[in-house]
């Protein structure tokens, strides 16, 4: 998990409209992602989330479920800046479910290099809260 | 919890930071999503949208946000 929900989970609570996940780009893993989504949503469009897209020309896929569930942004890379192997993450137990959350340092590195003002604000707050500096990765 | 009064909003301290790694954070976010879904229409219709980059995805979100602001403004004028 990355993005605003991950930032919130580290204690910097802010509103966000979606859930961002960064997934390992291989066919088995994307199949597991589809299975997990099918377990939550009765939605045939989930099958349109494919490894050929996520591992190929479309590293960013947005899934908007029916009903009140949050949209999900599913990423396999961020340009040339971040790939799955670059992510530092920690595992937490949330209501009995293991959840992998990007570390504050990884979130800071991701967010300081994007163009969105909200990401810059997140980066500044992460830097202040966790004593993160400007050193290169 | 006590009520604190301020003579100016500038005197109000920032809200205390959340507790890191608090499982309740997810419950609060879920409640916020449910609340906001009653306040405003969703940015996107249900389905799967593919983007060649995170920047394209962000652009689509920005465009949808501006469209939603415009549509809400029009609807609330009526």
| pLDDT tens digits, one per residue of A80-98 | 778 898 899 999 988 888 9
> Is A135 part of the contact surface with chain B (CB cutoff 8 Å)?
no
| Residue A21 in this model has a pLDDT that exceeds 60 | yes
Mutate to test the interface with B, among A7, A11, A20 (most CBs of B within 10 A): A11
User: CA B29, CA A94: separation in Å to the nearest integer?
Assistant: 13
Angle CA A26–A31–A32, to nearest 5:
100
Decide: A76 and A25 in contact? Cβ < 8 Å.
yes
What pTM was estimated for this model as a whole?
A: 0.88
DSSP alpha helices (H): ranges in A26-103?
27-40, 51-54
Pick from B36, B43, B54: CB nearest A60? B54
Q: How confident is the model at residue A137 (pLDDT cuts 50, 70, 90)?
A: very low
Give residue B14's pLDDT. Answer: 81
Min CA distance, B56 vs chain A (Å)? Answer: 9
If you average pLDDT over residues B37-58, what whole number do you get?
92
| Residue A116 in this model has a pLDDT that exceeds 60 | yes
Give residue A136's pLDDT. Answer: 46
């Amino acid at each position: 998990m990355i993005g605003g929900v991950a930032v919130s989970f580290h204690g910097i609570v802010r509103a966000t409209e979606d859930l961002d996940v960064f997934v390992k780009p291989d066919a088995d893993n994307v199949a597991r992602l589809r299975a997990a989504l099918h377990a939550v949503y009765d939605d045939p469009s989930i099958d349109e989330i494919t490894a050929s897209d996520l591992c190929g020309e479309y590293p960013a896929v947005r899934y908007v479920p029916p009903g009140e569930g949050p949209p999900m942004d599913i990423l396999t890379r961020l340009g040339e800046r971040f790939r799955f192997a670059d992510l530092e993450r920690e595992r937490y137990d949330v209501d009995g479910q293991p959840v992998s959350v990007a570390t504050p340092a990884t979130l800071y590195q991701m967010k300081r290099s994007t163009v969105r003002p909200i990401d810059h604000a997140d980066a500044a707050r992460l830097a202040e809260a966790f004593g993160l500096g400007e050193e290169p990765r | 919890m006590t009520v604190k009064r301020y003579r100016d909003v500038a005197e109000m301290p920032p809200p205390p930071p959340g507790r890191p790694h608090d499982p309740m954070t997810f419950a609060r976010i879920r409640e916020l999503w449910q609340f906001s879904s009653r306040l405003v229409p969703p940015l996107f219709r249900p389905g799967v949208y593919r983007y060649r980059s995170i920047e394209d995805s962000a652009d689509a979100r920005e465009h949808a946000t501006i469209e939603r602001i415009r549509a809400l403004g029009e609807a609330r004028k009526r």
